[in-house]
Amino acid sequence: MPTLPLPYDPAALATAHGTPLWIYDAAVIEQRISEVASFDTVRYAQKANSSLAVLALMRQHGVKVDAVTAGELHRAQQVGYTLGSDDVVFTADVLDDDALEWIARHRIPVNVGSPDMIAQLAAAGIDVPITLRINPGFGHGHSQKVNTGGESSKHGIWHDQIPACLASAKTHGLTVRGLHMHIGSGADFKHLSEVAGAMVTAAQTFAQHADTLRVVSAGGGLPIPYHADQPQRIDLDRYFKVWDDARQTIAGITGHDVELEVEPGRYLVAESGSLLTRVRSVKQSGSKHYVIIDAGFNDLVRPSFYGAHHHITVHGPDGQDLGAGSTCDTQDAIVAGPLCESCDVFTQEEDGTVVTRALPRATAGDLLVLHDAGAYGMAMSSNYNSRRIAAEVMLKDGQAHLIRERQSFESLTQFERVPAALHADTVKA
């Protein structure tokens, strides 16, 4: 894939903020938001990237938000979303104590992912509008780790339980105002039309039992081209048309307008983000050449978790792209991180097989950029090996704003306690 020039100077940002460093280009997020504007509601699945500055940008552009935990509700509130309005919907398969407390306190609409949740809301005295997340009985996805439908998926309410859920909601005095499916057909339009067809069938069943259906949500799952050899971007006009046709059919069934929502995470943020890292070591092990960087799967877990592919560029210490130009000196390399885990490798397949990538020849001190890392990157990072959560920068209006400081060592242990009995330096005989 011809690499576009980075929208930033990697050397300058590495010097200013250190590495590893997350960098997001706000202009890319703004562009993606504008591309899905045909839907009545764009609801950002903040699990993809819940950094406050990203949420604030979404809010500025009229994007609503979903939250899957009380923590995500807290984040939405922090950037000014109004809890208790349609701006923020809670979507989950279970309700934990924190979630129940927040939903009760702020009267947050809930997208219910299991029948038990209806009775549990009622038992907690919570009277909020609900939607039903339906598992249509089939899924999609290259691996079970990302499949969100069918019998082997834990998500959603099985499609034949819609009448029972409507009856339960009625008994408990809750209004069901919508149906939701998140199956993630991506750019597979044949599959997508099956999902939309399943939504129409679900709406027919709904309409036989209640007249409160006002909104259908297509969920998320819009893909982005991570791979060089991937077909072009998803045809969003076609994607919208499949769902709009379904919406119109459903409006015909219900006899009134029905709103159409979409709930993307990855599509809005993935391509805006990159992870800037420093090459710390290059070494040869038998026939294999390793490039070891200062980011690990505690920073970006997608390659270790699902064998996800991220485009990689290598830059000299001055920031120059070593792959630019026609006379680039390449080498087949395995790119790995610093963690004490064999799977801490950025070039691997879904089954964990380590593979090489033809990259410009790197030396210690160079910079290495993992591209398209704005979704499920920082949001999935951890403190494994007691590594600090990396800093984040957002490029906006020609400036690089620090939006998250690198975590301090103090905060790594902030909430831990050592019992008094362990304070003595030695064990008594």
Ligand X SMILES: Cc1ncc(COP(=O)(O)O)c(C=O)c1O
Tokens 């903040």, located at residue: 46
Minimum Å distance from CB 78 to ligand X?
A: 21
Supply φ then ψ for residue 191, to 5 degrees: -65, -40
Q: Which residue pairs from 156-159 have beta carbons closer than 8 angstroms and sit at least 24 positions apart in sequence?
A: 156/93, 156/113, 156/114, 156/181, 156/182, 157/112, 157/113, 157/114, 157/115, 157/132, 157/133, 159/134, 159/135, 159/198, 159/201, 159/202, 159/205
CB of 376 to ligand X, least distance (A): 7
In the DSSP assignment, the letter for residue 7 is S
Burial of 58 per CB tally in 10 Å (0-12, 13-18, 19+): buried
Residue (23 or 183) nearer to ligand X, CB: 183
Least gap, CB of 193 to ligand X (angstroms): 18
CB of 409 to ligand X, least distance (A): 32
Which segments of 139-267 are extended strands (E)? Answer: 157-158, 176-180, 215-217, 259-262
Classify burial at 142, counting beta carbons within 10 Å of its beta carbon; exposed 0-12, middle 13-18, buried 19 or more.
exposed
Residues with Cβ within 8 Å of residue 354, at least 6 apart in sequence: 334, 345, 347, 348
Using the minimum distance from each CB to ligand X, give the nearer residue, 369 or 375: 375
Which residue numbers are catalytic?
340
CB closer to ligand X, 48 vs 132: 48
CB of 181 to ligand X, least distance (A): 9
CA distances from 173 to 118, 122, 176, 212, 332 (A): 10, 8, 10, 13, 63
CA atoms in the 13 A half-sphere facing the CB of 413? 5
Q: Alpha-carbon distance 345 to 301, whole Å?
A: 9
- The token pair at 426 is 């030695």
Tell me whether residue 66 or residue 321 sits nearer to ligand X (CB atom): 66
**Please, which residue, 150 or 317, has the CB nearer to ligand X?**
150
Closest CB 28 distance from ligand X, rounded Å: 15
Return the axis-axis angle of helices 162-171 and 189-209, rounded to nearest 10°.
40
Cβ of residue 164: shortest distance to ligand X, in angstroms?
21
Cis amide bond preceding 338, omega within 30: no
Question: What per-residue string of b and e applies to 145-176 under the rule 16 or more CB within 10 Å gives b?
Answer: ebbbbbeebebbbebebbeebbebbeebebeb
Q: Which is nearer to ligand X, 69 or 385 (CB)?
A: 69
**Nearest residue (CB) to ligand X, 220 versus 273:** 220
Nearer to ligand X, 112 or 362 (CB): 112
Helix (H) or strand (E) holding 274: strand 273-285
At closest approach, how far in Å is the CB of 186 from ligand X? 8
Closest among 159, 248, 168, 261 to 210, alpha carbons compared: 168
Q: Which residues bind ligand X (CB under 6 A)?
A: 45, 47-48, 91, 182, 184, 219-222, 263-267, 375
